[in-house]
């Protein structure tokens, strides 16, 4: 599995011949648009910063689009979406938290989550997480402090912060790393993972450069 970060909340996950795209930035956003093709597009929030599903279309291949809660199976990829709340864009919206099972690993993508108060049934469903993507920028999503504490409570092997830099709190990443005692962690261009790589990890923060 190869993971790259494309700004705001846009994340690309490749495994074999399949590519997943999470929260692609649309052309209507003030942020830089997302430019990569995907087989499956997952949108957590209907906002220009996260709903650019059409930008993941390439050639004649249709993108399988998932835009809300439910259970899905696409080409051997098992996906579950759970409802939550977001105040991104200064109004309350439905945000979908996604869990994805692939290559023996479990991904959890929190999207534009703004509150750690989840429905108990949703909270119970977020278990055995290997890779967690968490928004840290405040201003409608979790703050750095909230994001770190909530991330640790979910018990992931790896934590990858998203939604910082050009959007939200400019000091969000610095504060998040400080919360996690990971100020010396350098950013990487991409993260390549196999199941065996997770054996000795517990709440490790990995920062990805925007590509």
What mean pLDDT do residues 165-193 have?
92
Would the CA dihedral through 56, 162, 170, 47 be positive or negative? positive
- The rounded mean pLDDT for the chain is 95
What is the arithmetic mean of pLDDT over 168-175? Answer: 92
Supply the pLDDT for residue 101: 95
Helices 144-154 and 172-179, packing angle to 10 deg? 40
Confidence grade of residue 100 (pLDDT, cut at 50, 70, 90): very high
Total residue length of the chain:
211
The distance in angstroms from the start CA to the end CA of the chain is 17
Identify the band that residue 203 occupies on the pLDDT scale cut at 50, 70 and 90. very high
Give mean pLDDT, residues 113-127: 95
Domains of the chain (ranges, CATH numbers): 2-205 (3.60.15.10)
What is the pLDDT at residue 183?
92
| pTM (2 d.p.) | 0.96
Task: Please give the residue that has the higher pLDDT: either 75 or 147.
Answer: 147
In this prediction, residue 148 carries a pLDDT of 98
Percent of the chain with pLDDT over 70: 100
Burial of 103-124, coded b for 16+ CB within 10 Å and e otherwise, reads eebbbbbbbbbbebebeeeeee
pLDDT digit string (tens) for 45-77? 999 999 999 999 877 778 999 999 999 999 889
């Amino acid at each position: 599995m190869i993971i790259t970060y494309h700004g705001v909340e846009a994340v690309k996950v490749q495994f074999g011949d399949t590519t997943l795209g999470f929260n692609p930035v649309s052309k209507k956003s003030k942020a830089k648009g997302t430019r990569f093709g995907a087989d499956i597009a997952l949108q957590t929030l209907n906002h220009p910063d996260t709903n650019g599903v059409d930008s993941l279309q390439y050639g004649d291949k249709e993108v399988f689009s998932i835009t809300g809660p439910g259970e899905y199976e696409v080409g051997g990829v098992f996906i579950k979406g759970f409802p939550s709340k977001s105040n991104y864009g200064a109004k309350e919206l439905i945000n979908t938290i996604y869990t994805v099972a692939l290559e023996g690993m479990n991904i959890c993508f929190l999207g534009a989550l703004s509150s750690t108060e989840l429905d108990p049934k949703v909270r119970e469903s977020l278990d055995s997480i290997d890779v967690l993507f968490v928004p840290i920028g405040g201003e409608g999503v979790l703050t750095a402090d909230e994001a770190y504490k909530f991330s640790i409570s979910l018990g992931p092997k790896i934590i990858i912060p998203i939604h910082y830099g050009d959007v939200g709190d400019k000091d969000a990443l610095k504060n998040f790393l400080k919360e996690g005692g990971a100020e010396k962690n350098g950013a990487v261009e991409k993260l390549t993972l196999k199941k065996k790589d997770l054996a000795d990890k517990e709440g490790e923060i990995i920062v990805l450069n925007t590509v």
